[in-house]
Amino acid sequence: MNTPENEKPTGPVLKARHLSKQVTRPEGPLLILDEVGLEVSRGESVAIVGVSGAGKSTLLGLLAGLDEPSAGQVWLGGREITELDEDGRAALRAENVGFVFQSFHLIASLTALENVMLPLELSGATDAREAALEAIRTVGLEPRKGHYPHQLSGGEKQRVAIARAFVVQPEVLFADEPTGNLDQRTGENIVELLFNLNREYSTTLVLVTHDLDLASRCDRILFMEAGRIEREATGDSQ
């Protein structure tokens, strides 16, 4: 992966206003997010924490354009994604966003290297293999590049997922419980890798976690409760 040389504009890379999400259940409507507003600056790392059911992952999905809100607006990289259709949101995600999930989301029939190449190939990149090899080396997995997901440990799978996320040099990286399926030592190694790459490439990191130690590594921590951001704190990195 080559360090980006272009200077990015200042100002928030991510902004939400009056963001709400309501779903209909047999017993009646359920409000998952209630008038959430936030701004995230370029290069900033922000953790979203809270108990299960607080609305963390729902908020992440709306910020990333993976889902549509019931009300409110989201801007990503200066574009209002809430006015785009699914094809438009998908195109914006491909250009600006990387994802790391708890369950890795690797394609079983592809090798580690092919999984990392995939987003580049989908975008029509001509140097997909070369860029993916560099990404695999960066996360320390070159000897395992020809292995399939079922041949990799949990920590190795997450390294592949991180390489795949960073290979497109995203403006924003969204991570949803990235250490949730890993043992403590492996999780700590993955966290170190994630933050090292985040610093190296000046990527904006938005992280959902229940782990306060992990959250404290971020610049800011947003505490969610019952679909609202109730308070925020400064992380240890400040």
Res. 94: pLDDT tops 60: yes
For the chain, what is the mean pLDDT?
88
**C-alpha distances out from residue 56 to 19, 47, 114, Å:** 13, 10, 31
Asked whether the CA dihedral 102, 107, 109, 110 is positive or negative, the reply is negative
* 32 Cβ contact list (under 8 Å, min separation 6): 21, 22, 23, 55, 58, 227
As a whole-number percent, the residues of the chain with pLDDT over 90 amount to 51
pLDDT of residue 238: 58
Mean pLDDT of 30-55: 92
Q: Which of 4-8, 13-17, 106-110 has the lowest mean pLDDT?
A: 4-8
Q: Strands, DSSP E only, in the chain? A: 12-25, 28-41, 45-49, 71-76, 79-80, 97-101, 172-176, 204-208, 220-225, 228-234
Please name the fold of domain 12-234.
Rossmann fold (3.40.50)
pLDDT, tens only, 153-187 = 999 999 999 999 888 888 999 999 888 888 888 88
User: Which comes out higher in pLDDT, residue 208 or 124?
Assistant: 208
**Domain map (residue ranges) of the chain:** 12-234
